[in-house]
Amino acid sequence: MTDAATEAGLRRGRRALAFTFLAQGITFALLVTRVPAVQSRYGISDTVLPALLAAVPLLAGVGSLTAGTLVTRVPARTVLRCSQPLVLLALLAVAAGHHPWHLAVALGAFGLAVGALDASMNMLGVSLQQAHGQSIMLGFHAAYSLGGIVGATLAWAAVRAGLPLGASYAPVVLVLLPALLLTGRRCTDGATVPHTPHETPRAATTAARRPPAAPVAGGRTLAPLCVVMAVAYIGDATVSNWSATYLRDVLGGSEALATLPYNAYAATTLVGRAVGDRTVRRFGAPAVVRGGALLAAGGFAVVAAAPGPLTGLAGFTVLGLGLSVLVPQTFAAAGRAAEDRGPGATDAAVARLNVFTYLGHLVGAPLVGALGAAWSHRGAMAVPLVLVLLTLAHARSFTGQPDRYGGGHERPRTVDVG
């Protein structure tokens, strides 16, 4: 098998997976940005709605762990190809029901499928990064961020046009579903891409076999990464749930201005991830993670101390740059920690780590909201500030082993897939 064939296989797999991340970002944004319309359609009260929404990340955690079990029997790409259509169909079901129990079933299916999809996407991303030999995970998550912006824009356009949920969701699903079924056939992991005769014996062995089940990385190794993942999503949940309210009610901004913090946060998250892989290749993962944590903490500090809405907006903008690098690098670090235990261990580590993304979402918004109501909204913003600084204590967990990627030394590559 030639170098060109190997390069082509890696490129196809990388592009297909990037499109999957993009589509998932669009889908998720379409759901969360139309929550008021969902509530109105089903007549759900303000007391019942939070319970239904909280069930989504809970079930997503179950779906993620289930995916970790399934990949010991079937490839991660098979889990991805089965779960992504289910996510889209569940989104349609949210818009098609008539009774609250219809919504509960649809959201339950959405949560389970999203958990399996998120886990399998990141499993394939970590595997492709290992085959590629240098940092590419941030690029996949940049595609997800771009998808979120596209989805939110589509939702905004649907609201402006007065479209009901079904009419706004159906065209998107009709476009994405066949495209994903087509590109899903090209999704692959690094172990199944044809390798050249010039690669190391270890790489050839990895490509030739797939152990049925390898032990996951030890809890002591994975625990710091779980903390970082949860902290990153606590910060993300704080911005997505409270930035508009904070800017309006605490900093005295207008309704129009209050719509800008999350948009600015999403835009700088995209920028940070778009350039992040090159930064990791140059400076190493630990330095990038430390820099991201300091930027995020600085952003929260600006928000907490802001004298007015424009300063607060600047703080949320900086936050996006800081938090953007933490999640992709945490998945990559989990892959490195489990790599020597075999592909099965890598997948299991990613699936377990993925659960903490949902834990962060579940904890973040209620924690900041409760502290704001009982104490001070400005003081509540100091809590994620302190938590994100915990990442500095765990930065060593992102250090690669000798001759590995992302630890200050890139692994020698046989091909360059760009």
pLDDT for 53 equals 85
In terms of Cβ atoms closer than 10 Å to its own Cβ (0-12, 13-18, 19+), residue 341 is middle
pLDDT for 265 equals 94
Which residue ranges make up each domain of the chain? 3-208, 219-398
Model confidence pLDDT, tens digit, residues 329-363: 999 999 888 887 765 889 999 999 999 999 999 99
Is the pLDDT at 7 greater than 90? The verdict is no
pLDDT for 33 equals 83
Least confident of 96-105, 171-180, 277-286, 333-342: 333-342
pLDDT for 343 equals 58
pLDDT for 50 equals 82
Higher pLDDT, 343 or 125: 125
What tokens were used for 69?
């079990």
Spatial separation of the C-alpha atoms in residues 67 and 350, rounded to whole Å:
10
Average the pLDDT over 15-32 and give the result: 94
Q: Which residue has the tokens 């941030």?
A: 138
Cβ atoms of 310 and 358 within 8 Å: the answer is no
Long-range (24+ apart) CB contacts under 8 A made by 401-406 are: 401/336, 404/336, 404/339, 405/129, 405/130, 405/133, 405/134, 405/135, 405/281, 405/336, 406/134, 406/135, 406/280, 406/281, 406/284, 406/285, 406/329, 406/332, 406/333, 406/336
Q: Which residue has the tokens 């109501």?
A: 373
Model confidence pLDDT, tens digit, residues 210-268: 444 444 555 577 899 999 999 999 999 999 889 989 999 999 999 888 888 998 999 99
Spatial separation of the C-alpha atoms in residues 271 and 141, rounded to whole Å:
11
Read off the pTM.
Answer: 0.86
Q: How confident is the model at residue 8 (pLDDT cuts 50, 70, 90)?
A: confident
Is the pLDDT at 405 greater than 60? The verdict is no
3-state SS track over 225-285 = HHHHHHHHHHHHHHHHHHHHHHHHHHCCCCHHHHCHHHHHHHHHHHHHHHHHHHHHHHHCH
Q: Cβ contacts of residue 295 below 8 Å, gap of 6+? A: 318, 319, 321, 322
Model confidence pLDDT, tens digit, residues 160-194: 899 999 999 999 999 999 999 999 988 887 665 54
Is the pLDDT at 312 greater than 90? The verdict is yes
Q: How confident is the model at residue 209 (pLDDT cuts 50, 70, 90)?
A: very low
Please state, rounded to an integer, the average pLDDT across all residues of the chain.
86
Average the pLDDT over 270-298 and give the result: 96
Spatial separation of the C-alpha atoms in residues 391 and 384, rounded to whole Å:
11
Average the pLDDT over 4-30 and give the result: 89
Q: How confident is the model at residue 196 (pLDDT cuts 50, 70, 90)?
A: very low
Spatial separation of the C-alpha atoms in residues 323 and 317, rounded to whole Å:
11
Q: Out of 1.10.3720.10, 3.40.50.1370, 2.60.120.590, 1.20.1250.20, which CATH number does the structure's domain 219-398 have?
A: 1.20.1250.20
Q: Out of 1.10.101.10, 1.20.1370.20, 1.20.1250.20, 3.90.950.20, which CATH number does the structure's domain 3-208 have?
A: 1.20.1250.20
Q: Which residue has the tokens 């399998």?
A: 120
Higher pLDDT, 11 or 173: 173
Average the pLDDT over 59-84 and give the result: 94
pLDDT for 341 equals 76
Is the pLDDT at 200 greater than 80? The verdict is no
Same fold, 3-208 and 219-398: yes
Residue 133 DSSP symbol: T
Cβ atoms of 285 and 400 within 8 Å: the answer is yes
Average the pLDDT over 38-54 and give the result: 87
Tell me which residue of 315, 318, 241 sits closest to 50, measured CA to CA: 241
Q: How confident is the model at residue 198 (pLDDT cuts 50, 70, 90)?
A: very low
Cβ atoms of 385 and 323 within 8 Å: the answer is no
